[in-house]
Structure 1
């Protein structure tokens, strides 16, 4: 996964949907949690966006502050989890029980 494309896609989402187009600058190290840019609600919106945009689910054991403290950390998390390029769809795979499961 391309770090720069992922970063830009996440930055755009934060600026358009979380900051609602405000002229605030978001840098790689802007403290999103500390400054209240990401709250519990906006973090869940971001997680839903990551699932839809990159086709991955963030495991519960990766849902902690250090992974969401700034844009750099969020981008690294998405890249580490192997999400597809922005706009990719989750892939369906068959499970051992014959049911479909969304993979990311």
Structure 2
């Protein structure tokens, strides 16, 4: 799957499920942690989405802030884990 498609799907999920359909213009570099978009509860929901939608289990050692700083970083993590 192309990285741009993954980013778009992540942005759509975040806008619809985490931001309750907000019209915020999410970009690949939107700072999810800095802006408080992702908190611990939303992180659990996001990890479940990644597992169901992208069929990827993120190992505990990869669950670090740098991996979830923005949609681009999450897309990179998904691609890394699916290409193993």
Give TM class, smaller chain: over 0.9
Matching of residue 59 in structure 1 with residue 54 in structure 2 = no
Q: Which has the higher helix share?
A: 2
Q: CA deviation at 1:49?
A: 0.2
CA RMSD of aligned residues (A): 1.4
Relative to the length of structure 1, the TM-score reads: 0.76
Q: CA deviation at 1:65?
A: 0.1
Per-residue displacement from partner, 1:2-54 (whole Å, max 9, x unpaired)?
11211111111001000111111111111100110000000110000000001
Q: CA deviation at 1:72?
A: 0.7
Q: Which runs of 5+ in 1 are unaligned?
A: 84-103
Other-structure match for 1:27: 27
Larger-Rg structure: 1
CA–CA separation in structure 2 for the residues paired with 1:40 and 1:72: 19
Q: Which has the higher strand share?
A: 1
DSSP-derived class of the 2:51 partner:
helix
Q: Which runs of 5+ in 2 are unaligned?
A: none
Relative to the length of structure 2, the TM-score reads: 0.93
Other-structure match for 2:15: 15
Q: CA deviation at 1:71?
A: 0.7
CA–CA separation in structure 2 for the residues paired with 1:82 and 1:33: 24
Q: CA deviation at 1:60?
A: 0.1
